[in-house]
Amino acid sequence: MYQTILLAVDINDLPESGHVAEAAVRMAKGEGATLHVVNVIPGSGMAMVGSFLGPDQANAIQTEARDRLAAWASEVIPVDLLGKLKVTQGTIYHEIIKAAQDLGAEAIVVGAHRPALKDYLVGPNAARVVRHAPKTVLVVR
C-alpha cells in the first residue's frame, strides 16, 4: 500500500522520537517501504534575526543537524529501510508536507506530545500536518 514513508523528527528531542521511529519502522517493514527522515529547523521568523546570524551560522546549524540526524538514524532505522535524510528550515508543518511531496511519500509519520493549553488554541505542528497534508498521516503519541 505504501512504497515511501516520511518520518518527521525533532533533532532537539531525539529521545522522545524513539517510539515514533519504532512505529515508523514497523510500518515500513510491514509495507516493504522505504523510510525517509526529515528534521525541520524552525525559521528565525524575522529577517532582522536571520541577517544577524548570517549565512555562516545558518550553514553551521544545518551541518550540525544533518550530522546528528545521520548518527541517530543509523542507530534506530535498519539500513535496508532507510532512504534519504533531509534537514530543512522554515515553518515546521509546511516543510514536512513539502518534504513528503518532494520525496513522493504516500504517508507521513509524526509524533505528538501531550498537549498544553496553548496547543488547544493554536494547534501543534502534528495537528497542522494532519489538517493540511494531502496524504495519510500517522500521529504517534
pLDDT per position as a tens digit, 12-47: 888 778 899 999 999 999 999 999 999 999 876 555
The residues with which 4 forms a beta bridge, in sequence order, are: 34
Supply the DSSP string of 35-73, one letter for each residue: EEEEEEEEP-SSHHHHHHHHHHHHHHHHHHHHHHHHHHH
pLDDT value at residue 59: 85
CATH topology of domain 4-118+126-140: Rossmann fold (3.40.50)
**DSSP code of 11?**
G
Q: For the chain, what are the domain ranges?
A: 4-118+126-140
pLDDT of 121: 43
Q: What pLDDT was estimated at residue 114? A: 61
At residue 108, the pLDDT reads 98
Q: Which residues contact 65 (CB under 8 A, 6 or more apart)?
A: 11, 39, 41, 87
**What pTM was computed for the model?**
0.87
Buried b (16+ CB within 10 A) or exposed e, 55-80: eeeeeeeeeebeeebeebbeebbeee
Residue-wise pLDDT tens digits, 82-135: 999 999 999 999 999 999 999 999 999 998 866 555 544 434 788 899 899 999
